[in-house]
Amino acid sequence: EDKVVQSPLSLVVHEGDTVTLNCSYEVTNFRSLLWYKQEKKAPTFLFMLTSSGIEKKSGRLSSILDKKELFSILNITATQTGDSAVYLCAVGDGSGNTGKLIFGQGTTLQVKP
- Integer Cα distance of 11 and 91 in angstroms: 22
Q: Which is nearer to another protein, 79 or 86 (CB)?
A: 86
**Nearest approach, Cβ of 39 to another protein (angstroms)?**
12
- Please enumerate in sequence order all residues whose Cβ is within 8 A of that of 50, keeping only pairs 6 or more positions apart, or say none: 31, 32, 33, 65
Closest CB to another protein among residues 2, 17: 2
Q: Catalog residues that contact another protein under the rule CB under 8 A.
A: 31-32, 34, 41-45, 48, 88, 92-94, 97-101, 103-106
CB of 14 to another protein, least distance (A): 26
The set of residues, in sequence order, having a beta carbon less than 8 Å from that of 99 and lying 6+ positions away, is: 92
Question: Smallest distance from the beta carbon of 34 to another protein, in angstroms?
Answer: 6
Residue number with CB closer to another protein (68 or 97): 97
Q: What is the DSSP string of 14-42?
A: ETT--EEEEEEEE-SSEEEEEEEEESSSS
Q: Rounded CA gap, 27 and 2, in Å?
A: 5
Closer to another protein by Cβ: residue 41 or 68: 41
Q: From the CB of 12, what's the least distance to another protein, in Å?
A: 18
